[in-house]
């Protein structure tokens, strides 16, 4: 049984000496995850396709003490060869990892289904989307998550051995868009994120046998290059309240804060009794927009 002193926040949520890998770690939610893990003592390797973005993120956000953010790669998560090279690069430096955050993703094509006459609706959706764009979205947002996780399973299992039963885990960044029935003009993205949500559940059940947990965070509107279309020199983005309020379905009336995403990441990293869950951090959107 725990003593009261054991329940202090610094004990419950410390990730001191953890080794973490984050895909898509150079901006947006991936960078938020890197910041909170490093701030609480972890060694965090961030990777992505743009080396300059990774370097800028690490330079701007390394904590003054405790953990550290280390750029590695670059890596294209849609390539088995690139993923294997990443695993080999990290294996030369580390004997294990405790956490993988799969945050790399793309938005895909957009075509708003706002026509009430079928021929017009067909023309808009048919002409503004392609098989190639759908395949790219699925490959990046679903298939790459699967192969990234599989590639790191041996290092994750070794990480479990360092901190106890089922302590090593994967956090998949999905989306509230993968739970709702509103297409938001993003049929391919929302379908892909729905696939990512179910993939999380499949992997959590199947990878228990190698003592690796898999959970997912389903964010609402958070500032990122995907939502804000840009980031600053420190690789951070801004999403003004009025832009979120224009959507008309966000009870919180604002974008999520870095601290709120950080709390979700730390919770799923440290609570080893949680496996196979989809944690929506969405400002109440799914209370307004129908889902499941």
| pLDDT for the residue numbered 291 | 75
Whether 193 is catalytic is yes
3-state SS, residue 272: coil
pLDDT tens string 6-34: 899 988 999 999 999 999 999 999 999 99
pLDDT tens string 141-197: 999 999 999 999 999 999 987 666 668 999 999 999 999 998 888 899 999 999 999
Examine the pLDDT at 290 and tell me if it is beyond 90.
no
Paired tokens of 143: 């298939």
3-state SS, residue 142: helix
* Residue 151 placed within a domain: yes
For the domain that residue 70 is a member of, what is the CATH number?
3.40.50.720
* Residue 8 placed within a domain: no
* Residue 1 placed within a domain: no
* Residue 6 placed within a domain: no
Q: Residues with Cβ < 8 Å from 255, sequence gap 6 or more?
A: 220, 221, 222, 223, 227, 239, 240, 241, 243, 244, 283
Which of 261, 235, 237, 238 is closest to 54 using CA atoms?
235
* Residue 250 placed within a domain: yes
Whether 96 is catalytic is no
Catalytic residue among 18, 45, 96, 189: 189
* Residue 277 placed within a domain: yes
Least confident segment among 127-141, 228-242, 259-273: 228-242
H or E stretch at 71: strand 68-71
Least confident segment among 15-19, 75-79, 181-185, 285-289: 181-185
* Residue 74 placed within a domain: yes
pLDDT tens string 29-74: 999 999 999 999 999 999 999 999 999 999 999 998 889 999 998 9
Paired tokens of 162: 């360092």
Mean pLDDT confidence for 100-115: 93
| pLDDT for the residue numbered 166 | 65
pLDDT tens string 198-252: 999 999 999 999 999 999 999 999 988 777 777 788 897 888 899 999 988 999 9
| pLDDT for the residue numbered 103 | 97
Q: Give CA separation, 38 vs 11, 14, 42, 46, 235, in Å.
A: 16, 10, 5, 11, 16
Whether 174 is catalytic is yes
Q: Which residues sit opposite 99 in a β-bridge?
A: 20, 169
Mean pLDDT computed over every residue of the chain? 93
Residue 21: which domain range? 15-287
pTM metric for this prediction: 0.95
Q: Give the number of domains in the chain.
A: 1
Catalytic residue among 174, 175, 216, 237: 174
Query: CA-to-CA distance for 186 and 172, rounded, in angstroms?
Result: 20
**Is 78 within 8 Å of 86 (Cβ atoms)?**
no
* Residue 279 placed within a domain: yes
| pLDDT for the residue numbered 165 | 62
Catalytic residue among 27, 43, 193, 224: 193
């Amino acid at each position: 049984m725990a003593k009261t002193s054991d329940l202090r926040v610094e004990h419950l949520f410390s990730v001191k000496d953890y080794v973490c890998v984050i895909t898509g770690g150079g901006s947006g939610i991936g960078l938020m995850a890197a910041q909170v893990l490093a701030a609480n003592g972890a060694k965090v390797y961030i990777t992505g396709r743009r080396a300059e973005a990774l370097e800028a993120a690490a330079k701007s956000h390394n904590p003054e003490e405790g953990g550290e953010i280390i750029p590695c790669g670059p890596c294209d998560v849609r390539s088995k060869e690139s993923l294997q090279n990443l695993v080999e690069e990290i294996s030369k430096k580390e004997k294990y990892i405790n956490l993988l955050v799969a945050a790399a993703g793309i938005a895909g094509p957009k075509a708003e289904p706002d026509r009430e006459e079928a021929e017009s609706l067909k023309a808009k959706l048919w002409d503004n989307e392609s098989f190639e764009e759908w395949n790219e979205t699925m490959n990046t947002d679903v298939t790459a998550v699967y192969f990234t996780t599989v590639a790191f399973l041996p290092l994750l299992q070794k990480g479990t051995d360092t901190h106890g039963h089922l302590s090593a885990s994967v956090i998949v960044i999905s989306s509230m868009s993968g739970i709702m029935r509103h297409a938001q003009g993003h049929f391919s993205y929302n379908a892909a994120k729905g696939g990512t949500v179910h993939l999380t559940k499949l992997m959590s059940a199947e990878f228990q046998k190698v003592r690796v947990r898999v959970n997912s965070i389903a964010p609402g509107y958070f500032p990122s290059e995907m939502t804000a279309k840009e980031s600053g020199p420190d690789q951070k983005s801004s999403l003004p309240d009025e832009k979120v309020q224009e959507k008309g379905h966000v009870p919180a009336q604002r974008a999520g804060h870095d601290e709120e995403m950080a709390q979700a990441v730390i919770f799923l990293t440290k609570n080893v009794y949680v496996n196979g869950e989809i944690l929506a951090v969405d400002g109440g959107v799914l209370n307004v927009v129908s889902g499941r």
